[in-house]
């Protein structure tokens, strides 16, 4: 009797786990059909379904024979920090990120008792060859906001479109006229790249998202970089110029001044002392002391 009761209890618990709501991914904005070389986007969104989570990871797979991946836009993402920015791998477009404070859904302005899905990333594709194109999320998980980092599975999503045999090139450009912002600093830590000068930076754009960041050291060439970046000029005598481009072509720039060497500081101090001495001598020559 006890064994039978235990079996029934375990079965009911398993059923409860299976029936418990879990976060759901969705792919929105997919057109019914596209032409070859026509750009379009798909928004990856997540509905917590009553759960609260502070981390998410997924891989978006797509039909590489009929469509091609153009770029990812993260300007409106609920992700606070992308541990793995949307990156093309052999399995698809992988990403993972952290949401500070957790995410339970967006407040519906028309029904506060109802929550809305949040944007994770907008993926831009283009038609490549005639046929059916499928886009699907794969092996997605979230980290529960429970203090223990419990992993939860996510309901994945799949959408499809038809690519025609007509070539009609068109470019998708998001409406955005605001330049990105950049924060950066140069650090020198023993445990980071063997103590070499390293540039740490973040570039943000809440409209179309960051496309790439470039650096120029002194009068050198501009180069596309990612953070962290080990400086080529380890003397720190070069001015560092950073510029961040968003997906709409807007540019944000900052500069970081070089570090004065100890010999340069000593020379500056010596020059200041000489200026003071010359000034004092000049004042005394203009106003000689009177003998009584």
- DSSP letter assigned to residue 110: T
**In the chain, alpha helices (H):** 2-19, 262-286
Tokens matching residue 95: 């990403």
Does residue 193 share a domain with residue 124? no
Q: CA 234, CA 210: separation in Å to the nearest integer?
A: 28
CA separation, residue 264 to residues 19, 34, 52, 259 (Å): 71, 63, 55, 10
CA atoms within 13 A on the CB side of 223: 14
Does residue 61 share a domain with residue 191? no
**In 145-261, alpha helices (H):** none
**CA-based nearest residue to 146, from 67, 218, 51:** 51
Q: Read off the pLDDT of residues 95-151 as tens digits, 9 standing for 90 and up.
A: 999 999 999 998 877 877 778 999 999 999 999 999 999 999 999 999 999 888 899
Q: What is the CATH number of the domain that holds 244?
A: 2.60.40.10
| Rounded (5°) CA angle 249-176-225 | 40
Output the pLDDT for position 287: 61
Number of domains the chain is built from:
2
Answer whether residue 39 is part of any domain: yes
Tokens matching residue 90: 């052999």
Cα 228 from chain centroid (whole Å): 13
Q: In this structure, are residues 199 and 215 in contact, taking their beta carbons and an 8 Å threshold?
A: yes
Q: CA 25, CA 118: separation in Å to the nearest integer?
A: 10
Output the pLDDT for position 278: 77
Does residue 241 share a domain with residue 141? no
Q: CA 131, CA 165: separation in Å to the nearest integer?
A: 8
Cα four-point dihedral sign 6, 7, 10, 16: negative
Does residue 158 share a domain with residue 207? no
Does residue 225 share a domain with residue 124? no
Does residue 108 share a domain with residue 211? no
**CA-based nearest residue to 249, from 222, 211, 214:** 211
Residue that is last in its domain, among 141, 170, 199: 170
Tokens matching residue 120: 């994770």
Tokens matching residue 182: 């950049």
Counting as low any pLDDT under 50, the low residues of the chain are 1-19, 291-292
Answer whether residue 68 is part of any domain: yes
**CA-based nearest residue to 72, from 125, 137, 123:** 123
Answer whether residue 37 is part of any domain: yes
Q: What is the CATH number of the domain that holds 138?
A: 2.60.40.680
Does residue 146 share a domain with residue 49? yes
Residue that is last in its domain, among 170, 201, 218: 170
Answer whether residue 90 is part of any domain: yes
Answer whether residue 268 is part of any domain: no
* Residue with the two structure tokens 């836009």: 73
Does residue 242 share a domain with residue 143? no
Does residue 133 share a domain with residue 63? yes
Backbone angles phi, psi at 33, to 5 degrees: -150, 155
Does residue 212 share a domain with residue 141? no
Answer whether residue 118 is part of any domain: yes
Could you list the residue range(s) of the whole structural domain that residue 154 is in? 21-170
Output the pLDDT for position 8: 39
Does residue 205 share a domain with residue 78? no
Q: In this structure, are residues 74 and 121 in contact, taking their beta carbons and an 8 Å threshold?
A: yes
Does residue 187 share a domain with residue 149? no
Answer whether residue 290 is part of any domain: no
Answer whether residue 245 is part of any domain: yes
Output the pLDDT for position 16: 38
């Amino acid at each position: 009797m006890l064994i039978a009761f235990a079996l029934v209890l375990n079965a009911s618990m398993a059923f409860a786990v299976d029936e418990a709501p879990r976060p759901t991914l969705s792919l929105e904005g997919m057109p019914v059909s596209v032409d070859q070389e026509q750009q379009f986007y798909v928004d990856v969104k997540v509905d917590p379904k009553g759960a609260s989570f502070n981390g998410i990871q997924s891989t978006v797979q797509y039909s590489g024979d009929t469509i091609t991946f153009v770029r990812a836009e993260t300007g409106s993402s609920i992700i606070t920090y992308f541990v793995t920015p949307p990156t093309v791998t052999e399995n698809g477009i992988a990403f993972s990120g952290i949401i500070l404070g957790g995410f339970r859904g967006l407040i519906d302005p028309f029904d506060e008792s109802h929550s809305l899905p949040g944007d994770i990333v907008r993926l831009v594709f283009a038609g490549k060859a005639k046929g059916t194109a499928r886009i699907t999320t794969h092996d997605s998980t979230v980290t529960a906001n429970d203090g223990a980092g419990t992993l939860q599975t996510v309901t994945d999503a799949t959408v499809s479109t038809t690519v025609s045999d007509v070539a009609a090139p068109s470019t998708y450009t998001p409406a955005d006229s605001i330049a990105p912002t950049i924060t950066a600093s140069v650090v020198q830590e023993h445990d980071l790249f063997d103590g070499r000068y390293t540039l740490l930076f973040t570039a943000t754009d809440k409209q179309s998202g960051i496309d790439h960041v470039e650096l120029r050291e002194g009068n050198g060439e501009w180069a596309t970089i990612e953070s962290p970046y080990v400086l080529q000029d380890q003397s720190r005598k070069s001015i560092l110029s950073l510029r961040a481009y968003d997906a709409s072509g807007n540019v944000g720039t900052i500069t970081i001044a070089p570090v004065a060497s100890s010999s340069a500081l000593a020379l500056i101090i010596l020059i200041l002392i000489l200026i003071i001495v010359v000034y004092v001598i000049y004042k005394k020559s203009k106003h000689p002391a009177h003998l009584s």
